[in-house]
Amino acid sequence: MLIRTEIGVDAPSIDSLLRRCFASSAEAELVQQLREDGLLTLGVVATDDEGQVLGYAAFSPVTLNGEDKQWVGLAPLAVDESVRGQGLGKQLIYEGLDTLNEFGYAAVVVLGDPAFFGRYGFEPASRHQLRCHRPETEATFQVYKLADEALVGVEGNIEYSTPFNRS
Ligand SMILES: CC(C)(COP(=O)(O)OP(=O)(O)OC[C@H]1O[C@@H](n2cnc3c(N)ncnc32)[C@H](O)[C@@H]1OP(=O)(O)O)[C@@H](O)C(=O)NCCC(=O)NCCS
């Protein structure tokens, strides 16, 4: 399995993976919209020998109190059922964090199960007085600091980009 940054020809295979992995087409449509709107900061794929995408992680910009602080949100993350439990999810997350760190991004947020993302260094955003604008997300909203000072003196509302409001 190869873990690398998404390129143009991966789009149909990513779309197919997301439609297989989630109960609705919302995630696939979200990624299409982010791509169309130029809001895919980074996409990381896991591909097999034939180039088929079996894992995917997307990162797109979020704002803090309406300001661009070079923060991004991780969503969606998906691994094909046939290859789950082999560490692909972990590799996609780490590859994404490494690349974003190299690019100079400051922090990554995620809405997801703390039992999963907590393993990879994400911590509750509420610990830093950070909230997601979506209701009832206090327990699942998490943050990962890339830049040393990213979480110093911050608090407030994180907002995802417009395509997330449609999904
Ligand atoms: C979540 C997902 C990406 C994990 O992919 P993966 O390649 O199996 O992940 P890894 O192999 O790195 O890690 C698997 C481990 O995480 C655990 N895990 C998976 N989902 C979990 C969850 N929601 N909560 C806690 N642990 C979870 C597995 O039990 C496994 O544990 P083990 O290593 O002790 O056996 C995959 O299950 C998936 O695509 N699910 C459907 C889409 C989804 O829910 N995405 C997350 C949305 S934020």
Mean pLDDT per 10-residue section of the chain, whose length is 167 residues:
97 98 98 98 98 98 97 98 98 98 98 97 96 90 97 95 87
Which pLDDT belongs to residue 156? 96
Where does ligand 1 bind, in terms of residues with CB under 6 Å?
21, 76-79, 84-90, 112-113, 115-116
| Mutation test residue for ligand 1: of 82, 84, 86, the one with most atoms within 8 Å of CB | 84
Place of tokens 């439609």: 19
Please tell me the predicted confidence (pLDDT) of residue 133: 84
CA–CA distance, 118 with 164 (Å, rounded to integer): 23
Domain range annotation of the chain: 2-166
Which atom from ligand 1 is nearest to the alpha carbon of 91? 12
Closest residue (by CA) to atom 43 of ligand 1?
A: 78
Quick one: how far is CA 18 from the chain centroid?
13
- Indicate the pTM of the whole model: 0.96
Classify domain 2-166 at the CATH superfamily level.
Gcn5-related N-acetyltransferase (GNAT) (3.40.630.30)
Q: Which two tokens stand for residue 115?
A: 């039992």
pLDDT at 134: 81
Which residue lies with its CA nearest to atom 17 of ligand 1?
A: 116
Pocket test for ligand 1, best of 56, 74, 79 (most atoms within 8 A of CB): 79
What pLDDT was estimated at residue 167? Answer: 60
Q: Does the bond joining 76 to the residue before it have cis omega, within 30 degrees of 0?
A: yes
Backbone angles phi, psi at 162, to 5 degrees: -50, -45
